[in-house]
A and B are shown apart, each in its own frame.
Chain A
């Protein structure tokens, strides 16, 4: 019996797969709704960490940064000439903002419109994580466990009820990764592939900034494809990047033409990755500078602690069991995440490779369950049990481990704020109150 997979006829296996998928969808929806709504009682992470940054919107909890997005509801929904341009902080979440504003027109509630976008993408992150794990080589059960851990992850829990659309933003990593894997795995024409990957990069740039993580992953995915030579892989990745840059410039020009350019009243709330990188490169004058600019022990510590050490170790262990392509993808994504965190240090940057870590953790849990079942089956007086008993035991053990790992980062629900405060401390230090 291999990890997370039991011997069965194809028809029976397919039927179980369908039931698993349906059950997983239902469970993920319940978990997302539960974890999100429960924080209204136990305390949204940000408001617990930094209450001075909290606010109320329509009487419900939000954060001061919601203003960056609320201020543009009239841009999408009103006929008055815009008095504020689309700055970087808004452009990088333009599509989420569009959805939230349209929902506001329907519902009349800004609070619940923003929350609905966050919750919906939070749920989609779990679904996408499941499919990503399958494509990375995990068995369905392991992929399902990964999805559970993904939706319980601090990267998605931490920013709920801030109403800065960060939850929806962070959910686009598994969504974008899944789309990239599908496009690469199933392409028939390299030119079309470059075009669609370029469109994907544009979409990611308008739903956060994961395009910078995906570009090197394109190269890995394409190089791993038997139908593409390394030179072609590089050409496709460069072509996609070029198309993305052209489209972004065109978008900026179009916005400026209608009076929504960044120069028309700008909120300099964020630094652009390109600017940060350019500034860092300009400061490198010697090999010592280069070494100093590389991520050191502190950045690795932030990464490990942000996931929780147990989750991170489980992720690494599981990645060792997955195919080589997956390991290379995880390595490249983690390296880019570490480098990015030297430019912009919050914990969510260090967690940018989270689909891979959680895929590995899901496989680890499934493997542990299988090993436990095998160990029990080796006991003479238990070896007579039917195979279904072993499968049930394996699943029970693996699910228990998964729930335990998920619980480690959600203990704030039962009053233990230690992990929450540790996680947010990596954002701007301890708030003393």
Chain B
């Protein structure tokens, strides 16, 4: 394999993701492409920039957002503590500043070409020169991205020293996200934007250090009123829930082994309810509970081999409102699509499912599957 120059072929390329080098003196190993760099710089610094760094501070808008949120909070919850409202306002203000700053940084970074650092193989957070950013407090020494990042890491460490595990994972996450983030921003958009990015990311990382969330968010199988996954019961012992499967014999081959019908349910059988299944009119018996919380019943192979369509019917006896099936709206994966599931309400068969808790029909499929193991 011959060695090609790092510069891609002129026939196809015009690499624009190099920082502008025009007049800055390229490093010894950098490919010499002043013409392209000049074009890139011209392309990426239009006469009227779409995003200007530091031209408009997000602080005023953020302050307004904070005040509005605090007022709304206090108006909607007049009986609540005032500090909670103020806290909401402060969070809204900081969040607004964060979002606006990150949007500005993102715009500048995607545009690129604003005099990024030349030294890209080292961690380029040391720029030497003071950043040309409008500094809010004149008497404070001007800080660059590295100062802010290191200082923020120290603040995070100080805030989390009460929980060593939490301190380690947060410092790790902060450092290992900050370094590449600021490297990219600095080479694409320059030191001033990298400084703003460092400030914004520091705020993003520091505020959560004051939370104490000990409960993990939990997922659930279904909700009664969910448009995505809901529960389905048997309003009466005469009701039947049917699900049909049309196996692809060519793809799957013959059924040589017994299979298992697995059904997703919610609730337990405190009311003594038992679910029974039939397959094409043949009794399969009661479904039993598994360790995973599902119900399962064996399906003999001889009931499967000759059938082109498998119609499973589920009944409940005695009726138990606590023990319910789960259904979902997306039926594209069912072998018969939206026509796979139906229900019998003692008068006629209806397509889809019936959300008896909500009292309405819902197009969708019951969550059950034919598997080769329970």
Contacts and interface: CB of A to CB of B under 8 A. Distances in A.
Interface residues of A, number: 115
Contacts of B245: 432-433
B217 interface: yes
Given A16-B43, A223-B1, A51 B365 contact: yes
B270 interface: no
A52 B334 CA distance: 12
Interface in B247-298: 247-248, 251-252, 262, 264, 294
A148 interface: no
B165 interface: yes
A97 B370 CA distance: 35
A105 B13 contact: no
Interface of A: 2-5, 10-11, 13-18, 21-22, 25, 42-44, 47-52, 54-62, 64, 66-67, 70-82, 86, 94-95, 97-99, 101-102, 104-106, 110, 127, 131, 134-140, 142, 178-179, 182-189, 192-193, 196, 199, 202-203, 206, 223-227, 251, 254-255, 258-260, 321-325, 328, 363, 412, 415, 417, 420-421, 430-433
Interface size class of B (residues with CB under 8 A): 35 or more
Contact of B39 (A14, A259, A260): A14
A131 B17 contact: yes
4 tightest Cβ-Cβ pairs between the two chains A and B: A98-B173, A43-B330, A105-B208, A14-B43
Nearest to B8: A137
Contacts of A5: 11-12, 14
Contacts of A259: 164-165
A236 to B, nearest CB: 11
A79 B11 contact: no
B84 to A, nearest CB: 14
Contacts of A135: 8, 13, 15, 17
B290 to A, nearest CB: 12
A95 B176 contact: yes
B340 interface: yes
B35 A224 contact: no
B237 interface: no
A60 B15 contact: no
Interface of A is mostly: helix
B110 A127 contact: yes
A105 B217 CA distance: 12
B368 interface: yes
Contact of A48 (B4, B15, B180, B330): B330
A433 B243 contact: yes
B218 A70 contact: yes
Contacts of A101: 208
